[in-house]
Amino acid sequence: MLIQTTQGEGIEERILAANKELDKVKDNFKQEMIIYEFNGLEEYHNYLIDSDEKEALSAEVKKYYDELRFIDKTLYELQNELKDKAMVDLTQLDTIRKKAIDRLNTLRKEETDLLLMVQNNVKLKREINELYKSIKENYDSYEVISDLSKAANGDNPLKLTFERYILAAYFDEIIYAANLRLSDMTNNRYYLCRKEDKGKGRMQQGLDLEVIDNYTSKIRLVKTLSGGESFIASLALALGLADVIQNYSGGIQLNTIFIDEGFGSLDPNSLDNAITTLFKLNNTGRLIGIISHVQELKERINVQLEIIPTRHGSYVKSVY
């Protein structure tokens, strides 16, 4: 019985101690409720979590502290690495950064413009290629037409049109026939020739006349001839033209030629040569009519028609 009493006393003491501990825990719990602002036990129970969620939160907390330790370690290492480094002026770097951004935007705009240009050029190239194919298909016929056009319009080194080429061919024959007379009338001093040198600019050539002077052995322009010499040259050309026209006209005969003035500008020797040439033509059956006031002609021409002016009008007088 004594032993049981002792054990009971020990149990009561432990119960009392446990109750005290419980009261202490309750007081602490109440204090914690106040600290964490729980309005009651029910609200506290609402915030309780199960073991799985607790493990997940524990894992997250552990991960947080692991990352925090890594960051602290990295920060420590960076602090040691940068402790002897000087601070950089971020304002200057920011200015450089802004300039770089502006330059980048400009380059991007230029890139866009270049891409548009390339697209336009590609389109233009495609159109040119199509046009080239179209031109190439008709190139043979175009080449023939082009050559004909160039020949007709004088697109050649001599600047001689087809029309002038034909005229020049006839002109050469006229000059040849004229020189047969001109050499006699000038005692073999002058011969006409067609200028074949290329002229300046885009002026058409091929029908200009020059004169060969055997006295000086030079070729000069016909405009350098004196008045009498020009008349002789013109007379020779007229007679040469008559010969060529007659040759090309089949049965047509130019049997009558009238010459109006010009003889007064000739010296006696040139006048004699001109009259001799005209008499030779007259002997071939042609009728040569001369209109002139030169007395030497009157003395050498047998058949004359003299125009006599009066107050009442003019009349014709035959002189034999």
Interval 110-133: pLDDT, tens: 999 999 999 999 999 999 998 888
3-state secondary structure of 148: helix
Q: For residue range 40-84, what is the model confidence (pLDDT) as tens digits? A: 777 777 777 777 888 888 899 999 999 999 999 999 998 888 888
In this structure, are 141 and 285 located in the same domain?
no
Give the pLDDT of residue 320: 65
Do 130 and 207 fall within a single domain? no
Place of tokens 């004229």: 178
In single-letter form, the type of residue at position 158 comes to L
Q: At residue 58, what is the residue type?
A: S
For 99, phi and psi rounded to 5 degrees?
Answer: -65, -40
Q: Look at residue 305 and tell me if it is in a domain.
A: yes
20 within domain boundaries: no
Residue 218's beta-bridge partner residues? 213
pLDDT digits (tens, 9 = 90+) for 6-33: 566 678 888 888 888 888 888 888 888 8
Q: Count the domains in the chain.
A: 2
What's the one-letter identity of residue 199?
Answer: G
pLDDT of residue 69: 93
239 and 109 belong to one structural domain = no
Q: What is the pLDDT of residue 6?
A: 59
Residues 280 and 138 reside in one and the same domain: no
> What does DSSP say about strands 256-260 and 287-291: parallel, antiparallel, or unpaired?
parallel
- Assign residue 291 the CATH number of its domain: 3.40.50.300
Is 249 or 306 the better-scoring residue by pLDDT? Answer: 306
Q: Which residue among 149, 176, 208 closes a domain? A: 149
Query: Is 86 domain-assigned?
Result: no
Cβ neighbourhood burial of 316 (10 Å; 0-12, 13-18, 19+): exposed
Among residues 232, 155, 237, 227, which one has the least CA distance to residue 194?
237
Q: Which two tokens stand for residue 222?
A: 């016909």
Window from 63-67, 133-137, 148-152, 172-176 with minimum mean pLDDT: 148-152
| Average pLDDT score over the chain | 81
284-302 burial: b if 16+ Cβ within 10 Å, else e: eebebebeeebeebeeebe
Residue of higher predicted confidence among 156 and 311: 311
Question: In sequence order, what are the beta bridge partners of 186?
Answer: none
- pLDDT value at residue 290: 78
Evaluate whether 168 touches 191 at the Cβ level (below 8 Å).
Answer: no
Q: Which of 119, 149, 179 is the last residue of a domain?
A: 149
- What are 288's strand-pairing partners? 257
Q: How many Å apart are CA 268 and CA 306, to the nearest integer?
A: 23
Backbone angles phi, psi at 289, to 5 degrees: -105, 130
DSSP state, residue 85: P
CA distance 96 to 102: 10
Residue 227 shares a structural domain with residue 144 = no
Q: What is the mean pLDDT of residues 246-275?
A: 73
Q: Are residues 218 and 301 in the same domain?
A: yes
Give residue for tokens 């080194």.
157
Q: Tell me phi and psi for residue 216, to 5 degrees.
A: -105, -5
For residue 191, list its beta bridge partners. 212
Domain that includes residue 112, residue range: 105-149
Can you tell me the distance from the alpha carbon of 257 to that of 253, in angstroms, rounded to the nearest whole number? 11
CA distance 4 to 22: 26
Q: Tell me, yes or no, whether 33 lies in a domain.
A: no
Nearest to 197 by CA among 187, 188, 207, 189: 207
Q: Does residue 267 belong to any structural domain of this protein?
A: yes
Rounded Cα gap, residues 195 and 209, in angstroms:
6
∠ CA(181), CA(183), CA(185), 5° rounding?
A: 70
* Phi, psi angles (nearest 5°) of residue 259: -120, 120
